[in-house]
Amino acid sequence: MYQDLLSALNAHPSLTIVALYGTIDPSFLASSTSVSLSKIVLKTIHHPSEPRESELHALFMRGLKTLSIRVEEAGSLSSSLPFSGMEELEVDQNCKEPASWLPHLVERQPHLKTIRFYGHFTNPDWGKHTYMLFPSRIFTALERESLAAVAVFTAYTLNRIESAVALEQWAVTQICLFILEAAGISAAKVAHSLLPRLPSLDLEMPRWGMKQSLATDKLVSTLVGLQFLRNLHLVNMHRHLLFPEGSEADPNEQTPGCLIANADMRRLTARLVRSLPSLEFVRIEDRGIDNDLEADLWSGWSLDVTYQAAQNRELEVIAEQLVYERN
């Protein structure tokens, strides 16, 4: 069946690219080695949990392309793999000896634009090389400001500035901070002190368990100092925020929590956009549970909205997803 499908795709006169999203089906990719995969583009390959390196080599030799590879814990990636067109690479900090293969891989991948490092950065090999120094710099700064217990640095992104630039010269363009307590929001100022022109910032809070609410005034005043910030991503923050003007909830009605969170966070986003002229995109992700005690029912919900600031600083919704799940 897979061979017939691949043959039909290859024979189609006007079809040039077939993009595959989600998990790879090895049976599909490994079907008859005589069939070309030159029209197939994978969004992401997870390595080594998906095809082994020897299998990847065979698939790439048949013309398979991928936009992104995620190198997971204990994995490594040979620079000799014959893949082309890769634009993004994600690297778990616990992957196998990144310094032994990553620079060579970058040299052989001229289309590679972005490398994202994620994890807890406990690998002793981390920090020995220029492009790995940022985690130790921000950890040291957080400890100096007594913030290490209330804010955790979880990821950073490097971007290639010019096609020929060495990995050591790539720029840090995004960082992710996990805020454990309200005081941890000051970690954003620490990040700004290290990267004054930082264009992208992700802030995430735990779904439960914070002892103190974070005033939106404090959040706004902190972020306003990031004068070059263009992209902001806020995750699981609504339940931990204190809105001085009150929430959108109507005490006389059982308004679904998703709608309340959406309205409150839109209002906060509008304020941020007005206060920070450089800000162009804000993505809001949140989750929660609504309980109906009388009916003994609960409804889980999730919210994912991306706003763009127009020239007049009004908000435009460019992506929106509200999902409900009832027991």
**Structural domain includes residue 82:** yes
- Rounded to whole angstroms, the maximal C-alpha distance in the chain is 68
Instruction: Look at residue 210 and tell me if it is in a domain.
Output: no
Provide the domain limits for residue 30.
1-112
Strand partners, 17: none
pLDDT recorded at residue 276 = 97
**What is the chain's pLDDT, residue by residue, as a tens digit (327 residues)?**
566 777 777 778 777 777 766 655 555 666 556 678 778 777 777 776 666 777 777 778 888 888 888 887 666 677 667 777 788 999 887 776 777 788 888 888 888 899 999 886 655 555 666 667 788 889 889 999 999 999 999 999 999 987 767 888 889 999 999 999 999 999 999 999 999 999 999 999 998 878 889 999 999 999 999 999 999 999 999 999 999 776 655 555 677 888 999 999 999 999 999 999 999 999 999 998 887 645 556 778 999 999 999 999 999 999 999 888 766
In a domain, 167, yes or no: no
Phi, psi of 109 (to 5 degrees): -120, 80
Q: In what order do the strands lie in the sheet with 18-20?
A: 18-20, 40-42, 65-66
CA nearest neighbour of 76 among 55, 93, 59, 58: 93
Helices then strands, each counted (H, E), the chain: 8, 16
Q: Let me know if residue 51 belongs to a domain.
A: yes
Q: Are strands 114-118 and 151-159 parallel, antiparallel or unpaired?
A: antiparallel
Q: Which residues 6+ apart lie within 8 Å of 250 measured at CB?
A: none
Structure tokens at 255: 């308004």
Q: How far is 155 from 182, CA to CA, in rounded Å?
A: 20
- Domain assignment present for residue 218? The answer is no
Q: Beta-strand (E) ranges in 185-296? A: 200-204, 214-215, 231-235, 241-242, 281-292
What separation in angstroms does the CA of 139 have from each of 32, 92, 93, 123, 269?
A: 50, 18, 15, 14, 29
Domain count, the chain: 1
Q: Is 62 contained in some domain?
A: yes
d(CA 315, CA 327): 34
Q: Establish if 53 belongs to a structural domain.
A: yes
pLDDT at 293: 47
Q: Give pLDDT tens digits for 55-106.
A: 777 778 888 888 888 887 666 677 667 777 788 999 887 776 777 788 888 8
Contact 170, 114 (CB under 8 A): no
DSSP-derived secondary structure letter, 243: -
Is 297 among the domain residues? no
DSSP string of 19-65, one letter each residue: EE-SS--HHHHTS-TTS--TTEEES-EEETTSS-HHHHHHHHHTT-E
CB 49 within 8 A of CB 70: no
The DSSP code for 277 is T
Q: Residue 298: enclosing H or E segment and its boundaries?
A: strand 297-309
Pairing of strands 281-292, 297-309: antiparallel
pLDDT of amino acid 295: 52
φ, ψ at 160 (rounded to 5°): -70, 130
d(CA 139, CA 155): 12
The whole-model pTM stands at 0.84
Distances in Å between the Cα of 131 and the Cα atoms of 128, 158, 159 are 9, 8, 11
Instruction: Give the model's pLDDT for residue 2.
Output: 60
Judged by DSSP in three states, 14 sits in coil
